[in-house]
Amino acid sequence: MIKYLLQSLRLYLYQAWLSYHGRYSITSPFGYISSKLGFPFFLMLFFIFMGKFVGYTNPLYIVIGNVLLIPAAGSMSGVTNAIGDERSWGTLSYVLGSPAPRLPIFMGRSLFYILDGFVTAVLGFAIAAGIFHLDMATINFGMLLLCIFLLAITSSGLGFLFGSISLISRDGWIILNTFLSALYILVGVNFPVGSLPSALQTIAFGLPLTRGIMAARLVLAGAGWNAIRPLLAGEVLVGAIYILVGYLCFRLIEKRSLTSGTLDAI
Amino acid sequence: MHPVAIEARSLNKTFITKTGLWKTRTRSTLAVEDISLTIERGELFGLLGPNGAGKTTTVKMLTTLLLPTHGTARILGLDVVQQTAQVRKHIGFAFSGSRGFYNRITATQNLNYFAQLYALDSAITRQRVPQLLELVGLGTRGDDKVETYSSGMVQRLHLARALLHDPEVLFLDEPTVGIDPVGSRELRQTIKNLSSLGKTILLTTHYMAEAEELCHRIAIINKGRIVALDSPEALKRHISGDSVIEACIQPGQVQGILDLLRVLDGRTLVEVKNITEPETVSIRTPEPARVLELLSPYLNPQYIQGLEVRNQTLEDVYVTIIKAGGQ
């Protein structure tokens, strides 16, 4: 049992590193760091100008929302591509034709994208504080980091789901992009979820991110652990459900491919 | 120890495809039909057939990557459907093509990764990966990214990966496709060496000379069915005791020579190969002496520039079988 767990852990970490390194190894360190700093900077600048143009009194609301979406979007698209690319690279037959346990292979696809998104969002908040005067004097940094980290993890569940879809459909990436656009409306990035029609609110609370973003906003407003605890618990639960559904979807597609022979066809 | 390495009984595979958004049409394609074969331990077995004949589908079923629609298959006595995990530990497989690796990392990193999928110990992996790279002629290129490899090098890397966990049974799907003649020869030697080490190898190929050189037995597969199965020599004997006469004829004289050969009975097959000038006429016949007698008055550069009499090759046998519709 211990041997199996150790093997799974080793496989998980190596898989995680490989799927990340394999996708980013063409990027120079300069290109990587500048993208980590440049992306949140220009994103914030865009929303501040847009907020001012439309007469927003507090454009930082949408700035914060969009910075909080960075780890989620990174994790989601990273995991989707990490799984979907296996199909286009023709590696699936060899991975699935091995006796390796499936769960660490599957979960390993997310680790470095989660960390990557986390780092980008933290840098984003540093830029927001340093350049765009986001007041962070009274906030609990530990709780903010926890919220950001949790957002990256729970959103990977959506990545697993879309990644699995992209194993059977060339449209996985298109579906993800469409869904990402919907997230801008649904999860409280640019305006509070409470301002949505009730049907959309129901959908919003069925998604990862909604409660996590609410919790992060509360932390930024100076709230304590007791205020955010139920929101984080809900976020963990919803995220876990999506990860589980994504994994089941992956196994189902793997099983189906044994009959249809479509897994490696592009 | 199970004496039979690969055993297939009445293996069938039908693919069902659905097309159309509103009016869905279902099409079923019978890719493999009633394939039965037994491959002994240590045997090097060839599966030959035209494109789309069902070779790769058969290999995919035997390597647990595809479920048969009907029939059973066993590897070393283990059922490929019921005992998938155990089967996978004992087999290695390599499909042809430039895909199948993480191109942005090195060959060594790729092999290390796949070694982990087979739960290879770190010390064994460190020892085996450079050995295998050396074996397939990539010893000096292990630290290069796979994206810098030629298609032939990727092909050789496929073989190295298939050998990582030292499997008893190897499935090689067109292993020399895209490799230059020197590389092909080296790879064929590697396959022979593996066979001499006792590995059971099932090989698919389009190259008849390769099959003839390597394989102990050959199955010719056409339209999903095995249409001939025997050793290369026996296959050549079974089809006929015919000889092949190839004559290089001046382009304007071909029709005259063909008319001349009309006196021969239906057992002689004449084929014009319009590939070069002068044109080559291939005559497969059970009575070569009679053909030579007919052609001898025309053995001068105005008519026939050259003549070669040879026994049938495996390629002749293969073409005959496939053209006859696999009967």
Spatial CB neighbours of B101, under 8 Å, sequence gap ≥ 6: A89, A91, B107, B110, B146, B154, B157
Tokens found for residue A187: 């999860």
In this predicted structure, the answer to whether residue A7 has a pLDDT above a threshold of 80 is: no
In this predicted structure, the answer to whether residue A177 has a pLDDT above a threshold of 90 is: no
**Cβ pair B16:A260 closer than 8 A:** yes
The whole-number average pLDDT for the span B210-234 is 91
Residue at which a domain ends, from B236, B256, B289: B236
In a domain, A190, yes or no: yes
**B171 reaches A (C-beta below 8 A):** no
**Model confidence over A29-72: pLDDT tens digits?**
777 777 777 877 887 788 888 878 888 777 778 888 888 888 78
> Which pLDDT does position A71 carry in this prediction?
78
User: Which of B194, B138, B136 minimizes the C-alpha distance to B167?
Assistant: B194
Show the domain range for B142: 4-236
Which secondary structure element, helix H or strand E, spans residue B8, and what is its range? strand B4-19
> Which pLDDT does position B75 carry in this prediction?
96
Closest Cβ–Cβ partner in B16, B66, B113 for A18: B113
Note whether B135 and B253 are same-domain residues: no
Residue at which a domain ends, from B236, B262, B280: B236
Tokens found for residue B220: 């010719």
Note whether B127 and B189 are same-domain residues: yes
In a domain, A266, yes or no: no
DSSP conformational letter for B300: S
> Which pLDDT does position A24 carry in this prediction?
67
**Cβ pair A89:B15 closer than 8 A:** no
The whole-number average pLDDT for the span B34-45 is 94
Domain tally, chain A: 1
**Cβ pair B104:A23 closer than 8 A:** yes
In this prediction the pTM is 0.81
Residue at which a domain ends, from B186, B204, B236: B236
Interface test with A, best of B30, B32, B55, B65 (most A CBs within 10 A): B65
In this predicted structure, the answer to whether residue B274 has a pLDDT above a threshold of 50 is: yes
Side-chain half-sphere of A58: how many Cα atoms within 13 Å?
7
Note whether B123 and B26 are same-domain residues: yes
In a domain, B326, yes or no: no
In this predicted structure, the answer to whether residue B262 has a pLDDT above a threshold of 70 is: yes
**B158 reaches A (C-beta below 8 A):** no
In a domain, B317, yes or no: no
User: How many residues can be counted in chain B?
Assistant: 327
Task: Kindly indicate the confidence band of residue B277, based on its pLDDT and cuts at 50, 70 and 90.
Answer: low
**Model confidence over A209-264: pLDDT tens digits?**
999 999 999 998 888 899 999 999 999 999 999 989 988 988 888 888 888 877 66
Q: Is the model more confident about A143 or about A20? A: A143
| CA–CA dist A19, A118 (Å, integer) | 17
User: Mean pLDDT over all residues of chain B?
Assistant: 87
Query: Over pLDDT 70: what percentage of chain B?
Result: 96
Show the domain range for A235: 2-260
Tokens found for residue A244: 């589980």
Spatial CB neighbours of B12, under 8 Å, sequence gap ≥ 6: B30, B32, B33, B34, B35, B68, B69, B70, B71
Partners of B48 in beta bridges: B205, B220
> Which pLDDT does position B160 carry in this prediction?
95
Q: Which residues of B touch A21 (CB under 8 A)?
A: 104-105
Q: Residue type at B86? A: Q
In a domain, A12, yes or no: yes
**Model confidence over A98-134: pLDDT tens digits?**
988 888 887 887 888 888 888 888 888 888 888 878 8
User: Mean pLDDT over all residues of chain A?
Assistant: 84
In a domain, A29, yes or no: yes
**B55 reaches A (C-beta below 8 A):** no
The whole-number average pLDDT for the span B157-173 is 94
In this predicted structure, the answer to whether residue B8 has a pLDDT above a threshold of 50 is: yes
In this predicted structure, the answer to whether residue A161 has a pLDDT above a threshold of 70 is: yes
User: Which of B105, B118, B90, B101 minimizes the C-alpha distance to B158?
Assistant: B101
| CA–CA dist B87, B160 (Å, integer) | 19
The whole-number average pLDDT for the span A137-155 is 89
**Model confidence over B242-252: pLDDT tens digits?**
788 888 888 78
Note whether B217 and B285 are same-domain residues: no
Q: Check which CATH number belongs to the domain holding B297 and give it.
A: 3.30.70.120
Q: Is residue A150 a contact partner of residue A118, using CB atoms and an 8 Å limit?
A: no
**Cβ pair B66:A258 closer than 8 A:** yes
**Cβ pair B103:A89 closer than 8 A:** yes
Domain tally, chain B: 2
Task: Kindly indicate the confidence band of residue B7, based on its pLDDT and cuts at 50, 70 and 90.
Answer: very high
User: Which of A177, A175, A188, A159 minimizes the C-alpha distance to A247?
Assistant: A159
> Which pLDDT does position B327 carry in this prediction?
47
**Model confidence over B169-212: pLDDT tens digits?**
999 999 888 788 888 888 899 899 999 999 999 999 888 888 98
Contacts 24+ apart (CB under 8 A), A131-140: A131/A41, A131/A44, A132/A44, A132/A48, A132/A60, A132/A63, A134/A60, A134/A63, A134/A64, A134/A220, A136/A220, A138/A222, A139/A219, A139/A220, A139/A222, A140/A219, A140/A224, A140/A225
